[in-house]
Chain A
Amino acid sequence: MIFLEKNIADPLLNLAPLVILFPLLGLAINLLLGRRLGEKGAGVVASLASGSSFVISLLLTLSLQAHPQAFTLPLFQWISIGSLSVSWDMRVDTLSTTMMLVVSGVGTLIHVYAIGYMYNDVHHQGDVGRYRRFFVFFNLFIAAMMLLVSANNYLVLFVGWEGVGLCSYLLIGFWFEKGKDGIGNARAAQKAFVVNRIGDFGLLIALFMMFWWFGSLEFERVFNAARSLAPAQQGVLLAMTLFMLMGVAGKSAQLPLYVWLPDAMAGPTPVSALIHAATMVTAGVYLIARSQPLFALAPAAQGVICWVGALTALLAATIAVGQMDIKKVLAYSTISQLGFMVAAVGMGAITAGMFHLITHAFFKALLFLAAGSVIMGMEGANTVAHHHAGNPEEEIDPQDMRNMGGLQKRMPLTYGVYLVGALALAGIAPLAGFFSKDEILVSLWDYSLPIFLLLLLTSFLTAFYMGRQVLMVFAGKARSQAAQQASESPKVITIPLLILAVLSLLGGLINLPGVATLEKWLEHTVAMPEAGHFSPAIALSSTLLALLGLALAWVLYGYRSLAKLQQSDPLANYLGVIFHAVQNQWWIDSLYQRVFVIPYRYISHEVLAQWFDQETIDTMAHDLGRWNQWFARVLSYLQNGFVRTYGLVVLLGVVVMLAFLATR
């Protein structure tokens, strides 16, 4: 084996490549033998692959406990051109193992959940053959994400970065022929891909700059070189970090590139949970955390990142208030929470950001999966109602919260876990979200007051929209036949939900104020400024605000207004135009459409495709072809098929040559 090295602190660390290899193995098995394995088999294989990855991550974490220094496992030389030398190394340190644990842990739970969910989904959508494909993509995603977090240089990280982007694209467009006008899902996938490309463009530029200025892409070398360069070339570092921020904004759905994430909900719900809530979108946060030494040298960039995060958090939270689609609310909520994380890691509070990343992975995955369970219940009942003859009711949108209500009694377990997730997200003590959000707020209090206030307001809105959602979905009376007949999901779905609910309840334990397990753990890898101390005042105020938000939701969406929900949202009565704006995402999507998409399409279609390509270039090409044809026709007269004519021509050649020789 190429990766066996003798001078390793702990032989367990040699297992690191398996973290990537196991999902790849699962993928290969499903790809090659999937048809024989059958439906359940494919899901089980994929889950086992992801689970093995989790076990390996655990082992790595345990061995790091004894030797917490960062450890690099060289695999092989990848690129060696001139002064550029990129080797394919794996970096095992406290930061990467933390990410590995989150990705594979949450990933495995979602895999298990998907066994049940996708079984229903493929039958509902009418293409059973895609069951296996789903798990192939899922395993590929886990492998790519593992590659991303275990990279030891920016280029390998970029490979993983693009890999998860690809999986995201594939999975958003999983039902590519469905959606609005039959291409809605495909469009959503395309949008995600294109917007991510814009971000990746920035990241690539940052990478180029690194190579240009530092001559290396390896983390440690880049950081060391940056330290020595920083005093002289502040502008270079600023540009580099800001270009990196562009990549982060694309991947982690920050302003102004967040627009793809709500559309990404076109993918099946486990995809939304795993990729677009728990793991992939946090890659940007991870990138900033990983590059913290760089950002620390560019305080201006840190400020920008912090502001971007905070504004994104607030904007997305306001939009979430007006959404009717159960998954859209969660999508905007994800953007908003990502804003929290980005703001935290942006100002250098890596622990707070990573802490929130972990807890968010727990409760947002839980919320998405529970929402998936709700959708499944609605879909199931909807189909049953639809298939019974003589039912005049039209097929309703099973994701629209206006059609729900009263699910508390039909799906008690889902309701329970959803409540846990919602409270955790709202930041009610002592659930996971409370501690992590509080830590971010504490750190911000020391850093910048306006950002702190923005995020405090966001916390209030978060509690409000979650309260609104829980009430709309679970409380009151059923507002459609489907909701009336919805039934609880099977065990394969509820068990992962329960595990995630427990994690959401207890997630705060990993970095309790005063104990700070996570902080001490991460300190081995990331040098951090003194973290803010737990402040009862801030904790109390944020909890109070959250409670206030929940109470406001209760007042507005109480029993009386819920009944009339299908006519109008009660909030619309109070806010009027503003609610309308919120409901339409502040028209940002259509603004982008007008400002970027439509002019771009015009240029590409009318100017470039019509005028430049079809008229100018095609004419040139055609004319060349025509001349050539004419010339060939003239020449073909020579080729008359008579050997004797050819002989004559040869003789002519001989005569001419001899004449040349004779007269020379």
Chain B
Amino acid sequence: MLTEMAIFIFLALVVVASAMAMLLSRNAVYAALFLAMNFVTVALLYLILGAPFIALVQVTVYAGSIMVLFLFVIMMLGAERLPGGEPLRGQRVLAILLGCVLLVEMGLIFALRSGLLQIQMPAVVFSEPVDLGELLFTRYQLLFLVTSVILLAATVGAILLTRGDKVSLRDLLQRKE
């Protein structure tokens, strides 16, 4: 139990630290790398929580492809750093202030309203990816299909948006190459 707690605290610290580092790093490439680190750590937390499938998806999709995509775009656009400072007066102070208030509020709600502070996690049961898949293809089948359509639309949209020369969809379909 003690080791469990120690591992959790270590991971939590890494999560917070990497998040802060992402927030504070001036260079966008560093920020992306810190974020990847954050994602991987969160994936470890998922593992502790008994969700191996989600943990692996987190690593492959988030820390893998999405972050690569980010890095790729950052480097392609050469947008590692932006010149100039904060132009909005009071933005920084207000944002930090409100963020802290929000944190306190959330804590209060967790503590006072739901009484979750004392509840212990039950013994973790590893969920089988097979069960997850079964649920996904039976009960959530429709959602699954809809998501596939969203992905398709996103793919087409991304391609269309990043094409250099302006072509309409019709041209695209009619072109015989």
Contact = CB atoms under 8 A, between A and B. Distances in A.
Interface of A: 642, 644-645, 648, 651-652, 654-655, 658-659, 661-662
B13 interface: no
A642 to B, nearest CB: 6
A640 B143 CA distance: 39
Contacts of A652: 98
Question: Which secondary structure dominates where chain A touches chain B?
Answer: helix
Across the A-B interface, the 3 shortest Cβ-Cβ residue pairs: A658-B105, A662-B108, A662-B109
B1 interface: no
Contacts of A654: 102
Contact of A658 (B91, B94, B109): B109
A642 B88 contact: yes
B135 to A, nearest CB: 32
B105 A662 contact: yes
Contacts of B91: 644-645, 648
Given A645-B88, A658-B105, A662-B108, A651 B113 contact: no
A648 B94 CA distance: 8
A652 B88 CA distance: 16
Interface string B128-145: 000000000000000000
B102 A644 contact: no
A645 B95 CA distance: 10
Contacts of B102: 651, 654-655, 658
B112 interface: yes
Interface residues of B, number: 14
Contacts of B113: 661-662
A659 B104 CA distance: 10
Interface of B: 88, 91, 94-95, 98-99, 101-102, 105-106, 108-109, 112-113
A315 B65 CA distance: 104
Nearest to B111: A662
A661 B98 contact: no
A648 B93 CA distance: 11
Contacts of A659: 101, 105
B112 A662 contact: yes
A660 to B, nearest CB: 10
Nearest to B101: A655
A195 to B, nearest CB: 65
Contact of B88 (A644, A651, A661): A644
Nearest to B109: A662
A645 B98 CA distance: 13
A291 B99 CA distance: 85
A110 B101 CA distance: 92
Nearest to A664: B113
Nearest to A660: B105
B95 A648 contact: yes
A642 B109 CA distance: 31
Given A642-B88, A648-B98, A659-B101, 4 more contacts: A648-B94, A648-B95, A651-B99, A655-B105
A16 B98 CA distance: 83
Contacts of A648: 91, 94-95, 98
11 contacts: A648-B94, A648-B98, A651-B98, A651-B99, A652-B98, A655-B105, A658-B106, A659-B101, A659-B105, A662-B112, A662-B113
B39 to A, nearest CB: 23
A642 B102 CA distance: 22
A651 B112 CA distance: 22
Contacts of B98: 648, 651-652, 655
Contacts of B109: 658, 661-662
Contacts of B94: 648
A648 B108 CA distance: 22
Nearest to A652: B98
Nearest to B100: A655
Contacts of B88: 642, 644-645
B10 to A, nearest CB: 30
A537 B112 CA distance: 117
Nearest to B108: A662
